[in-house]
Amino acid sequence: MQFIEHGPDIPDELLLALDEGRVVFFCGAGVSRAKAKLPDFFGLADQILKTLGVPDDSAAVKILSEAREIEGRTGVPGLISADRVFGLLERDFLERDIESAVAQALDPHKVKDFDPEKGVDLSAHEILLDLATTKDGVTKLVTTNFDRLFDDCGRGLEAWQPPRLPDPARPGDLHGIVYLHGRATGDYDGAEGDGFVLSSAEFGRAYLAEGWATRFFKDVIDRYSVVFVGYNADDPPVQYLLEALNKSYGRLDEAYAFQSGDADDATSRWEHKGVTAIPFSKDD
């Protein structure tokens, strides 16, 4: 169903699941880029390298430069993933220093062209919270972002983060905002709790060695329809979340992803991950 002319065609099955309160939204970096103007991966990496004083001849700088060239040449993002770059940084810097640099780079009040009079534009986050809230007033939203912009919407929702996560298998336990990969401190000077899931080593721990993130997602997908918003198909969170499950499950019947571009391109990006793409125009 299309709600606006030339808008995305939303599958009827997803609309029914939303009406029945059976949808969990997974929100990626694109949500915070769209209106609040937080940096993309390259902008984030540039700020972190500058804050840490990483020399130009370091492996991380060289890999980042190659990633830019490959994306510019092919038009395909994510061929060199963010977790690999941060894994290289861990060879030379303390984890707490990297997390501090990441948090500082995500401070919405320090983004380029921030206007103190207008404040941070939270409209994208507000819309997603509205969509993720059932008729009974229960919000079920998961984000792999580290920023606190969903909290800043001021709805008083419970916030979860590792090592304390809700259990989707228990009725009513999944509610509020789940910061699956951790959350920045209130003044953006570091990470709360167990830190950020950021490097390849941390992704390996969360999704493979200890597997708590994989178990959480498996329990969600077993019980709910899942909608990915603000991700590229090859973002590290998507890779880790879906590829192992897709081998076991085959096609995920109730997993959807909003993807900018034409229908053929959007479908090709997500189909091998077992996810139904919902294309939308790059123009809006």
User: 246-266: per-residue pLDDT in tens?
Assistant: 655 555 678 999 998 888 888
pLDDT at 63: 84
Does the structure show a pLDDT above 80 at 10? yes
Question: Is the Cα dihedral 144, 149, 153, 158 positive or negative?
Answer: positive
The confidence score (pLDDT) of residue 29 equals 92
Rounded Cα–Cα distance for residues 42 and 197 (Å): 18
pLDDT given at position 141? 98
DSSP 8-state class, residue 110: G
| pLDDT tens track for 88-126 | 898 889 999 999 999 999 999 998 888 899 999 999 999
Of the pLDDT bands very low, low, confident and very high (cuts 50, 70, 90), residue 142 is: very high
Query: Can you give the residue ranges of every domain in the chain?
Result: 12-280
Taking each helix axis from N to C end, the angle separating 82-89 and 59-74, rounded to the nearest 10 degrees, works out to 170
pTM of the model: 0.92
Q: What is the pLDDT of residue 248?
A: 59
pLDDT band at 62 (very low <50, low <70, confident <90, very high): confident
> Tens digits of per-residue pLDDT, 147-202?
999 999 999 999 999 989 999 999 889 999 999 999 999 999 999 989 999 888 99
Q: How confident is the model at residue 66 (pLDDT cuts 50, 70, 90)?
A: confident
**Structural contact between residues 274 and 249, judged by C-beta atoms closer than 8 angstroms:** yes
Instruction: Summarize the chain as % helix, strand, coil (round to 5).
Output: 45, 15, 45
pLDDT of residue 242: 79
Of 206, 36, 25, give the one whose Cα is nearest residue 123. Answer: 36
